[in-house]
């Protein structure tokens, strides 16, 4: 991975920065602004945390973590203890929870790096309690209860039994009680109300602990879903937390590729592998230096039978991809783009201010989470602050 800290290049003029890789700019100012916006959406007494698992959704946990801490975030969530250790090196004062729970036999690791497991089973509770008692310490943790996802989390009945037991939570400081919404991005889905009702029953068993139910989309379901702490993830990185409404978040990840070749293709000739796309007119085709090795999903391409592929932005105009996405390159139909923007070395926005992560993910028939996490390692990365 190439990492630099240069400014974003001019959108229509290529600047020599580091070889021929496509450019990925992570706008840390936008990231901080997104956290501040979400923090402003929650009520008084509610904490806005930050989910930075999977290397901050592919954008770099260290850089993102520092920026979010500067913005005001003090509570962070990752999936794995290894991710927590990496983040701890950057943020010695942060509260860090491990969403995937207490991995068997790794209790010492959590204690040594001050990581709080999100305990999702009675077995995990027993192991963490036993370790804490052996260490003669009071160790922090979250208790995760399943209200309908059926992945991780204890049952409602487990909440009652834990509260009734005088020994089960010995040595554990219950710093958070949480669950996870399955359908928050569909506000009218009945599952949201069903999970809220179940979570309220659980909360009755732990009146003194902080409570958390909402992810990015859950924040927008209203105050009753926010409780004491919200856990935004995708919204921090520019994804739309409420897909059927205009996106209030700023784009954070900006991908720019370079025109490496321009050619005129006669009407009736094919472009790319499989001859899947044939020109219907004399066409100007630009080849740019990005492909599926960089995380540009093959499904964003197109064919004569399915011509509705993704688009890019150049010189104030949109231009459609043309044909299949290859490993290292993809063709763009620039026939309708003014010629002054069409020179070898010109940069093209593949994702960013004009082509959103949600739009590109839609063409890839996936979600922005997967798209961001799939960004390849060979981009020239710029952290803009």
E runs forming strands in 266-309: 270-271, 277-278, 283-288
Backbone angles phi, psi at 296, to 5 degrees: -80, 100
What are 64's two structure tokens?
């993102």
**Catalytic-role residue among 197, 273, 379, 383:** 273
Integer CA distances (angstroms), 352 to 84, 160, 200, 359, in order: 29, 48, 40, 10
Catalytic residue flag (residue 273):
yes
Closest CA to 174 of 146, 224, 209: 209
Strand order in the sheet with 210-212: 47-48, 229-230, 210-212, 172-178, 139-144, 115-119, 95-98, 75-78, 50-51
Instruction: Tell me the C-alpha distance between 383 and 376, whole Å.
Output: 16
- Please tell me the distance from the alpha carbon of residue 275 to that of residue 252, in angstroms, as a whole number: 35
Catalytic one of 53, 110, 116, 237: 53
How far apart are the C-alpha atoms of 202 and 205, rounded to whole Å? 6
Contact 201, 194 (CB under 8 A): no
CA–CA distance from 217 to each of 86, 245, 271 (Å)? 27, 12, 41
Instruction: Report the catalytic residues.
Output: 53, 273
């Amino acid at each position: 991975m190439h990492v630099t800290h240069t400014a974003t290049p001019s959108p229509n003029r290529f600047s020599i920065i580091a070889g021929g890789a496509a450019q990925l700019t992570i706008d840390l100012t936008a990231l901080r602004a997104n956290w501040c916006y979400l923090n402003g959406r929650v009520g008084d007494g509610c904490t806005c945390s930050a989910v930075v698992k999977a290397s901050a959704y592919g954008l770099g946990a260290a850089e993102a973590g520092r920026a979010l801490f500067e913005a005001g975030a003090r509570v962070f969530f990752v999936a794995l203890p290894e991710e927590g250790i990496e983040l701890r090196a950057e943020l010695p004062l942060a509260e860090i929870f491990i969403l995937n729970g207490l991995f068997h036999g790794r209790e010492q690791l959590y204690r040594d790096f001050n990581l709080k497991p999100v305990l999702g089973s009675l077995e995990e509770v027993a192991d963490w309690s036993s370790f804490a008692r052996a260490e003669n310490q009071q160790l922090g943790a979250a208790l995760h209860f399943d209200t309908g996802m059926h992945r991780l989390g204890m049952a409602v009945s487990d909440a009652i039994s834990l509260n009734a037991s005088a020994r089960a939570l010995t040595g554990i400081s219950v710093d958070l009680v949480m669950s996870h919404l399955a359908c928050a991005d569909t506000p009218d889905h009945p599952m949201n109300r069903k999970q809220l009702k179940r979570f309220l029953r659980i909360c009755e068993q732990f009146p003194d602990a902080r409570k958390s139910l909402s992810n990015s989309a859950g924040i927008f379901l209203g105050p009753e879903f926010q409780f004491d702490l919200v856990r935004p993830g995708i919204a921090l990185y520019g994804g739309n937390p409420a897909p059927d409404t205009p996106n209030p978040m700023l784009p954070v990840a900006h991908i720019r590729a370079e025109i490496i070749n321009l050619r005129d293709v006669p009407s009736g000739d094919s472009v790319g592998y499989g001859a899947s796309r044939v020109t219907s007119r004399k066409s100007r085709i630009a080849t740019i230096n990005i492909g599926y090795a960089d995380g540009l999903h093959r499904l964003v391409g197109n064919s004569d039978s399915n011509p509705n592929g993704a688009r890019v932005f150049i010189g104030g105009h949109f231009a459609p991809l043309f044909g299949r996405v290859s490993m290292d390159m993809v063709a763009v139909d620039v026939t309708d783009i003014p010629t002054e923007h069409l020179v070898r070395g010109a940069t093209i926005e593949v994702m960013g201010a004009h082509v959103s992560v949600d739009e590109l993910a839609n063409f890839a028939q996936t979600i922005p989470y997967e798209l961001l996490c799939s960004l390849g390692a060979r981009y020239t990365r710029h952290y803009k602050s």
